[in-house]
Amino acid sequence: MKYFYSLITCALLPFIGLSQDKPQDSTKVEKLDTVLVTAVRVTADSPITHSNLEKKDIEKRNLGQDLPILLNYLPSVVTTSDAGAGVGYTGIRVRGVSAQSTNITINGIPYNDAESLGTFWVDLPDFSSSVESLQLQRGVGTSTNGSGAFGASINILTDAISEKANGEISNSIGSYNTRKHTLKFSTGKLNNNFEIAGRLSQIRSDGYIDRAESNLKSYFLQGAYASNNTLIKALVFGGHEITYQAWNGIDAETLESNPTFNPSGLYFDDDGEMQFYDNEVDDYKQDHYQLHWNQRINNQWSTNIGLNYTYGRGFFEQYKEDQDFADYDFEDIEIGGEVINTTDLIRRRWLDNDFYVINVNSNFKTNDLNLTFGGSYSTYDGDHFGEVIWAEFASQSQIRDRYYDGNGRKKDFSIFAKSTFKINERINLYGDLQMRFIDYSTSGLTSDRVNLTIDESYDFFNPKFGLTYKINPKNQLYASYARANREPSRSDFESNPDVAPEQLNDFEFGWRHTDRQFMLNANFYAMLYNEQLVLTGAIDDVGTPIRSNSGKSYRLGLEIESAFALSDQMSVQPNISISTNKNKETFASIDGQLVNLGKTNISFSPELIVSNAIVYKPINALQLSFLSKYVGEQFMGNTDSEVSRLSAYFVNDFSASYEIDTKSIFKSIVFSALVNNVFNESYVSNGYYFTYDDDFSQPGIITTIEGAGYYPQATTNFLIGASLKF
């Protein structure tokens, strides 16, 4: 069994992410790097459902796809990609909850956009190459900074200080002209205290969908000072993404006849011929500046101060036909006695925002008590405006005229205190109290030239309690209750000015078994919502999902993940998520009548998600993995309409990695390969659903018309890469 333990603890984690953190003596000196995320993470004995990934686990599949795709085999996770191949705009749902309800932090700093509440991984391409570790908490989880977690939270710790100088050159190529180039370095500790490290990356891909190209560049630079009791880190990282738009999806007929068709940029020339505008792109830059000071006062006390400034700016560009002058403040013009009041044009919709954060927390640890308390304050200032950069008939307009201009401001202040208390050798109590105060205001016009005036304040109290009972060294039971409250997003207010904040009561009950031969985590959850903001299925004109309050609703589920060995060289790690997700009462307008549909399924919430990894490691240097993912059918709306049904799919991937210890110029050379969708499955992982009333075909009779759009995912495709480490 000499390979068994390494298989369980190392080889399998990249695919499912079974939690492997181990109980520690609380008086043991802790690595100061980990203090950066102490305030938002939990330990192995916590009554919070979670999974961990370490750097070595992420590296094995990091060939250019976005971070959500690398998390695809974690329990209750469903991922999708607009371009179809995991590069560009990607999304993740956990327990059926949208990405807008997943809290993301980087070194404890909120990463979710303050207004949209979403997370745009495309703005940080190849960020996986700078991740030291990651923890996914399912459910409400522990108190965190920024917007509340309503289905999951993902907290990321960036690269730790390297003791020795090192470097790495990584290159990969694959289907759809996908390629990734990464250069990393670290000086190691200079004079035993200082380190400078960095990364430059470029990722390009044509995408599976027509013209869904991605041109992604990113950087990461870290300067650090470390002594026995002090760690100071200054980080600068960011990215520049240019992606051809692929958020419009396709209808069912096109899905059957031409699944890679992309309607974005479509227009007709003067001869009536179909054309595609070549610069229908999203162009956005985002830069992050972080400063962290961790101080260990003694073996019991440590403190952390974190400062952050994020600057984001960019636009998406569109060619639009037959636009009314009035929509752009153009004046009618007369040429040869003919009045002209429409035009073809090219427009850009801009975002320009600043985001400031300060986090302060302290940690006190003894053998029986682990106490963390602190607070976070952030302020956001975001401009939204639009420009016409070309028009066939420009009327009186001038360069850089804005046809709409708006602003959003948000302040977010939270304080928390959480502790784990060891009553005896078997029982640990967990408590977590958070107060969160939000002020959000807007002014000016939306992109539809509608006045948007919001002036809202929210005060949220979020208590959490739990208990862990150790049956024996191999088995423990846990139970927890957590309440979360969450504010609406900007787009929620645009859809409904009277939108209400949502509330969740989350109950978790679990059993963990761990030994050297078999590991099992089983968890039952009951997530009870009031005014949950569920996806309606519809999207707006920039692909943003539209949400609405659903009154009373719930998500009940069972999650089981395990790992065991078939032999010294082969191991298996399956997980399964079974759930029921219901709106208790749904009202819909059908054929002009308001109808009570009673209990319905919550949109985008499959009842069955199954993953498995079979890992074969004949020698230490070689690892072969076969990965399988089944996602059950789901509805894209909340009315159980057959038109909104999204079919189940079953996809298999294969990955391999082989490391050669050269002991010459390079420390080692790592070869990696990934074949996605091995059996060439045609499937759709995401889509949208919409309805509208038609009263033209029969005057006086209203007929509800339904429709759906789909985002097909890539058939069999591959990535291969090599990393030179020195």
Host H or E run for residue 508 = strand 502-514
pLDDT tens-digit series, residues 596-641: 889 999 999 999 999 999 999 999 999 999 999 999 999 999 999 9
pLDDT tens-digit series, residues 47-66: 989 888 888 888 888 888 88
Read off the tokens for 198: 């960095």
Within 8 A by CB and 6+ apart from 399, the residues are none
The distance from CA 358 to its chain's CA centroid, rounded to whole angstroms, is 22
Cα distances (angstroms) measured from residue 234 to each of 41, 128, 350, 465, 557? 21, 19, 30, 35, 42
pLDDT of residue 689: 93
270 pLDDT band (50/70/90 cuts)?
confident
**Mean pLDDT, all residues of the chain:** 90
Cα distances (angstroms) measured from residue 606 to each of 137, 465, 476, 715? 19, 29, 29, 22
Cα distances (angstroms) measured from residue 629 to each of 342, 576, 609? 50, 10, 7
CATH topology assigned to domain 4-269+277-390+410-725? Maltoporin; Chain A (2.40.170)
Q: Whose CA is closest to 449, among 386, 495, 401, 493?
A: 386
Asked whether the beta carbons of 132 and 160 are under 8 A apart, the reply is yes
Average pLDDT score over residue span 172-192:
95
Read off the tokens for 162: 């390297």
Measured distance CA(494)–CA(404) in Å, rounded: 15
Average pLDDT score over residue span 533-562:
91
Measured distance CA(102)–CA(96) in Å, rounded: 11
Encoded amino acid at 305, one letter: I
pLDDT tens-digit series, residues 86-96: 999 999 999 99
Encoded amino acid at 318, one letter: Q
Read off the tokens for 299: 């073996």
Asked whether the beta carbons of 367 and 383 are under 8 A apart, the reply is no
Q: What residue has token string 């305030």?
A: 39
583 has a pLDDT exceeding 60: yes
pLDDT of residue 34: 66
Within 8 A by CB and 6+ apart from 32, the residues are 226, 230, 231, 294, 296, 302
DSSP secondary-structure letter at 161?
P
pLDDT of residue 15: 35
pLDDT of residue 695: 65
pLDDT of residue 556: 97
232 pLDDT band (50/70/90 cuts)?
very high
Share of the chain above pLDDT 70, in %: 94
10 has a pLDDT exceeding 70: no
DSSP secondary-structure letter at 11?
I
Domain residues of the chain, as ranges? 4-269+277-390+410-725
21 has a pLDDT exceeding 60: no
| Residue spans of beta strands (DSSP E) within 41-116 | 50-54, 77-81, 90-94, 102-106, 109-110
pLDDT of residue 507: 97
The β-bridge partners of 682 are none
Asked whether the beta carbons of 504 and 535 are under 8 A apart, the reply is no
Asked whether the beta carbons of 386 and 347 are under 8 A apart, the reply is yes
291 has a pLDDT exceeding 80: yes
pLDDT tens-digit series, residues 417-438: 999 999 999 999 999 999 999 9
Within 8 A by CB and 6+ apart from 286, the residues are 123, 124, 238, 239, 310, 311, 312, 314
Average pLDDT score over residue span 181-197:
95
Beta strand 102-106 pairing with 152-158: parallel
| Most confident range, picked from 101-110, 158-167, 211-220, 539-548 | 211-220
How many other CB atoms are there within 10 angstroms of residue 465's CB atom? 15
Measured distance CA(445)–CA(460) in Å, rounded: 29
The β-bridge partners of 51 are 136
Q: Give CA angle at 499 (498, 502), nearest 5°.
A: 145
Cα distances (angstroms) measured from residue 47 to each of 143, 476, 480? 13, 10, 6
pTM for the whole thing?
0.91
pLDDT of residue 27: 34
269 has a pLDDT exceeding 50: yes
* Sign for the pseudo-dihedral over CA of 202, 206, 209, 210: positive
DSSP secondary-structure letter at 325?
G
pLDDT tens-digit series, residues 310-339: 999 999 999 999 999 999 999 999 888 889
82 has a pLDDT exceeding 90: yes
How many other CB atoms are there within 10 angstroms of residue 426's CB atom? 12
DSSP secondary-structure letter at 639?
S
Pick 635 or 34 by higher pLDDT.
635
Read off the tokens for 346: 């090219």
589 pLDDT band (50/70/90 cuts)?
confident
pLDDT of residue 31: 61
Within 8 A by CB and 6+ apart from 192, the residues are none
Measured distance CA(146)–CA(133) in Å, rounded: 20
How is 179-195 classified by DSSP, letter by letter? EEEEEEEE---BTTTEE
